[in-house]
Chains A and B, each alone.
Chain A
Amino acid sequence: MRHLIRAALIGIVALGVGTMACQSQEPTKKAVKDDKDRKMAPAFELKDSTGKVVKLADYRGKVVLLDFWATWCGPCAIEIPWFEDFQRKYKDRGFEVLGISMDDDGWKAINPFVAEKKINYRIVLGDDKTGDQYGGVEALPTTFVIDREGRIASVHVGLTGKKDFEDAIEKLLEAPAGKAADARPAGGGAGSADGARAESGPHPHGEGN
């Protein structure tokens, strides 16, 4: 009987160790793509509520959180306060949030929303062309985190965890600043971000990287 109990205990311990081993072998999710896998964020010129043209290239040397959103999008409204926090917390370290609204009704719909939510970052009015350049943005929110060199470091389609964004931002802000100064400006890329979106394809509503 004692042998049986001993054998059972050994089995339980072995199972536990085995489970831990399996867990430790799971790949750790990366906050951002590896350098070699990043593609240039497509350039765009869009207008803000004052009519001023905003270019992605204006953000050269900064880490940018580029959020495609709309006023009618519930999941977008959840993320917006997080982005406001990021804007406050990281602005002095070379970080900016830029919101691209995909509202068909334009500023008539956007302005009251921005005022109500007290959005503290810049909003521009998007269009289908820009959405297409970024791989055909359809699901909102879709958010791109862009490194100091203007390359897409992570893509998030649908409601994403705040920590996932924060991890990506922190990681990119920690990257050596000197590297960015010599690099191509943000928005220097042309064409589309298909490559980046394709990698997040298997996670249509999750957190792509």
Chain B
Amino acid sequence: MAPVLKVDPIPMVKATKGSTATVVVKATLPSGYHANTNKPTEAYLIPMTLKWTGGPLEMDTVDYPKGAMEKYSFSDKPLSVVTGQFTITTKFKVPAGASTGPAAQNGTLRYQACDNKACYPPKNIPVSFTVNVE
């Protein structure tokens, strides 16, 4: 059974036009599984990515979890992975011309997970929150 990454609901964000806003995505992988970080150590591995694709805010930077170097039976070298609970922090710019009021900001979190003996196809899960532009 492929592991399902659980993403906590993101509280509503208040954003002021012309300023910045920070959003933290909290996610949890089930016990016994790991997912590649955004910077996997091997070229063939699929990195974790968070892309914001729609909404009034403009993505500025995304800080991924550093993860840990862990050794698995299927790899000669330790791999850069996340396990359990982790966070991804996004800094947004709030455009001066953004529409006032609440709006949805949507994104996609892509990850690829394995356990000690098998790997599972990459998954894209929707991530969203409400931003209230003032």
Q: Please report A residues at the B interface, Cβ cutoff 8 Å.
A: 70-78, 102, 104, 113, 138-142, 157-159, 204-206
From A71, A72, A77, A104, name the one whose CB has the most chain B CB atoms within 10 angstroms. Answer: A72
Residue of A nearest to B45 (CB): A72
Query: Please, how many angstroms separate the alpha-carbon atoms of A83 and B73 in the complex?
Result: 18
Please report the total number of B residues contacting A with Cβ < 8 Å. 21
Distance, CA A204 to CA B116, complexed state (A): 12
CA separation between A139 and B74, bound complex, in Å?
Answer: 14
Q: Chain B residues near A77: list those with CB within 8 A.
A: 44, 74
CB of B80 within 8 Å of the partner chain: no
- 12 more CB-based (< 8 A) A-B contacts, given A74-B79, A138-B1, A139-B120: A72-B45, A74-B42, A74-B74, A76-B119, A138-B2, A140-B118, A140-B121, A158-B115, A159-B73, A159-B74, A204-B1, A205-B117
Q: Are A104 and B121 in contact (CB under 8 A)?
A: yes
- Given the known interface contacts A77-B74, A113-B44, A159-B74, the answer about A72 and B115 at a Cβ–Cβ threshold of 8 Å is no
CB of B38 within 8 Å of the partner chain: no
Binding site secondary structure of chain B: loop
Residues of B within 8 A of A (CB): 1-2, 42, 44-46, 72-75, 79, 112, 114-122
A75-B74, A75-B119, A158-B118 are contacts. A139–B2 as well, Cβ < 8 Å? yes
A159 to B72, CA, bound (A): 11
A113 to B45, CA, bound (A): 12
Chain B residue at smallest Cβ distance from A141: B118
Q: Are A104 and B122 in contact (CB under 8 A)?
A: yes
How far is the CB of A117 from the nearest CB of chain B, in Å? 10
* Chain A residues whose CB sits within 8 angstroms of the CB of B73 once the complex forms: 159
> For residue A113, which residue of chain B has the nearest CB?
B44
Identity of the chain B residue whose Cβ is nearest the Cβ of A69 in the assembled complex: B119
B46, B112, B117: the one within 8 Å of A75 (CB): B117
CB contact under 8 A between A138 and B120, given known A72-B45, A72-B112: yes
| Residue in B closest to A116 when the chains form the complex, CB atoms | B44
List 30 A-B pairs, Cβ < 8 Å. A70-B119, A70-B121, A73-B114, A74-B42, A74-B72, A74-B75, A74-B114, A75-B114, A75-B117, A76-B119, A77-B44, A77-B74, A102-B121, A104-B122, A138-B2, A138-B120, A140-B118, A140-B120, A140-B121, A142-B118, A158-B118, A159-B73, A159-B74, A159-B116, A159-B117, A204-B1, A205-B115, A205-B116, A205-B117, A206-B117
